[in-house]
Amino acid sequence: MTANSNASAGILSVLHETRLFSPPPEFSATAHIKSLDHYRELYRQSVESPEKFWGRQAEAELVWSKRWDEVLQWEEPFARWFVGGQLNVSVNCLDRHLGTPAANRAALIWEGEPASDDKPGEERTLTYQQLHHEVCRFANVLKRNGLKAGDRVIIYLPMVPEAAIAMLACTRIGAIHSVVFGGFSAQSVADRIHDSTAKMVLTADGGFRRGAVVALKRNVDDALKLTDSHGNLLAQTVEKVIVLRRAALEALPMEPGRDVWWHEELSKVDAHCPAEPMDSEAPLFILYTSGSTGKPKGIFHTTGGYLLGAKLTSRYVFDLRDTDVYWCTADVGWVTGHTYVVYGPLANGATSFMYEGAPNHPEPDRFWRIVEKYGITILYTAPTAIRAFMKWGEAWPRKHDLSSLRLLGTVGEPINPEAWMWYHKIIGGARCPIVDTWWQTETGTIMITPLPGATPTKPGSATLPFFGVVPEVVDDQCQPVPRNTGGKLVIRKPWPSMLRGLWGDPRRYEQVYWSDVRGSYFTGDGCRQDEDGYFWIVGRIDDVLNVAGHRIGTAEVESALVSYPSVAEAAVVGRPDEMKGQALVAFVTLKTGVRPSPDLRQQLRDHVAKEIGAIAKPDDIRFAEALPKTRSGKIMRRLLKQVAAGTEIKGDTTTLEDLNVLARLTASSDE
Ligand code: WT7
Q: Atom 19 (ligand 1): residue with closest C-alpha? A: 413
The response to whether residue 540 sits with its C-beta less than 6 Å from ligand 1 reads: yes
**Residue 129 binned pLDDT confidence (cut-offs 50, 70, 90):** very high
Q: What per-residue confidence (pLDDT) applies to 5?
A: 38
SS (H, E, C) 537-559: EEEECCCEEEECCEEEEHHHHHH
pLDDT in tens, 375-388: 999 999 999 999 99
The response to whether residue 412 sits with its C-beta less than 6 Å from ligand 1 reads: yes
Phi, psi of 521 (to 5 degrees): -80, 125
For ligand 1, the distance from its centroid to the CA atom of residue 180, given in whole angstroms, is: 18
For ligand 1, the distance from its centroid to the CA atom of residue 7, given in whole angstroms, is: 14
Q: Which part of the chain is CATH 3.40.50.12780?
A: 1-88+302-549
Instruction: State yes or no: pLDDT of 601 exceeds 60.
Output: yes
Ligand 1 atom at minimal distance to the Cα of residue 462:
17
Say what the pTM is: 0.94
What's the mean pLDDT in 111-132? 90
**Residue 11 binned pLDDT confidence (cut-offs 50, 70, 90):** low
**Residue 8 binned pLDDT confidence (cut-offs 50, 70, 90):** very low
Q: Atom 13 (ligand 1): residue with closest C-alpha? A: 413
Instruction: State yes or no: pLDDT of 563 exceeds 60.
Output: yes
For ligand 1, the distance from its centroid to the CA atom of residue 302, given in whole angstroms, is: 20
What's the mean pLDDT in 184-205? 97
Pure H helices in 413-549 = 417-422, 506-514
Instruction: State yes or no: pLDDT of 120 exceeds 90.
Output: no
Q: What per-residue confidence (pLDDT) applies to 236?
A: 95
CATH for the stretch 564-670:
3.30.300.30
Q: What per-residue confidence (pLDDT) applies to 4?
A: 38
What's the mean pLDDT in 213-218? 95
Q: What per-residue confidence (pLDDT) applies to 516?
A: 87
300 and 179 in contact (C-beta within 8 Å)?
no
Q: Atom 8 (ligand 1): residue with closest C-alpha? A: 412
Q: Atom 11 (ligand 1): residue with closest C-alpha? A: 414
pLDDT mean across residues, the chain: 94
For ligand 1, the distance from its centroid to the CA atom of residue 576, given in whole angstroms, is: 17
Q: Which part of the chain is CATH 3.30.300.30?
A: 564-670
d(CA 609, CA 596): 20
What is the strand order of the sheet 471-474 is part of? 471-474, 486-491, 521-529, 535-540
Q: What per-residue confidence (pLDDT) applies to 16?
A: 67
Instruction: State yes or no: pLDDT of 1 exceeds 50.
Output: no
The response to whether residue 551 sits with its C-beta less than 6 Å from ligand 1 reads: yes
Q: What per-residue confidence (pLDDT) applies to 670?
A: 41
Instruction: State yes or no: pLDDT of 464 exceeds 90.
Output: yes
Pick the CATH number of 1-88+302-549 from 3.40.50.300, 3.40.50.620, 3.40.228.10, 3.40.50.12780: 3.40.50.12780
d(CA 38, CA 319): 14
Instruction: State yes or no: pLDDT of 440 exceeds 50.
Output: yes
Q: What is the DSSP letter of 642?
A: H
Phi, psi of 265 (to 5 degrees): -65, -40
Helix (H) / strand (E) element for 366: namely helix 366-374
240 and 146 in contact (C-beta within 8 Å)?
yes
The response to whether residue 542 sits with its C-beta less than 6 Å from ligand 1 reads: no
Residue 292: what residue type?
S
The response to whether residue 457 sits with its C-beta less than 6 Å from ligand 1 reads: no
Is the preceding peptide bond at 283 cis, omega within 30 degrees of 0? no
Q: What per-residue confidence (pLDDT) applies to 645?
A: 92
d(CA 314, CA 435): 12
Q: Where are the beta strands (DSSP E) in 167-270?
A: 176-179, 200-204, 207-209, 212-214, 240-244, 259-261
pLDDT in tens, 261-308: 999 999 999 999 999 999 999 999 999 999 887 789 999 999 999 999
d(CA 443, CA 449): 13
For ligand 1, the distance from its centroid to the CA atom of residue 648, given in whole angstroms, is: 30
For ligand 1, the distance from its centroid to the CA atom of residue 303, given in whole angstroms, is: 22
Residue 398: what residue type?
R
Instruction: State yes or no: pLDDT of 605 exceeds 60.
Output: yes
121 and 356 in contact (C-beta within 8 Å)?
yes
**Residue 9 binned pLDDT confidence (cut-offs 50, 70, 90):** very low
**Residue 7 binned pLDDT confidence (cut-offs 50, 70, 90):** very low
Q: Atom 27 (ligand 1): residue with closest C-alpha? A: 440
For ligand 1, the distance from its centroid to the CA atom of residue 454, given in whole angstroms, is: 23
pLDDT in tens, 509-547: 999 999 988 889 999 999 999 999 999 999 999 889 999
For ligand 1, the distance from its centroid to the CA atom of residue 499, given in whole angstroms, is: 15
Among 243-247, 341-345, 633-637, where is mean pLDDT lowest?
A: 633-637
Q: What per-residue confidence (pLDDT) applies to 15?
A: 61
Phi, psi of 321 (to 5 degrees): -140, 170
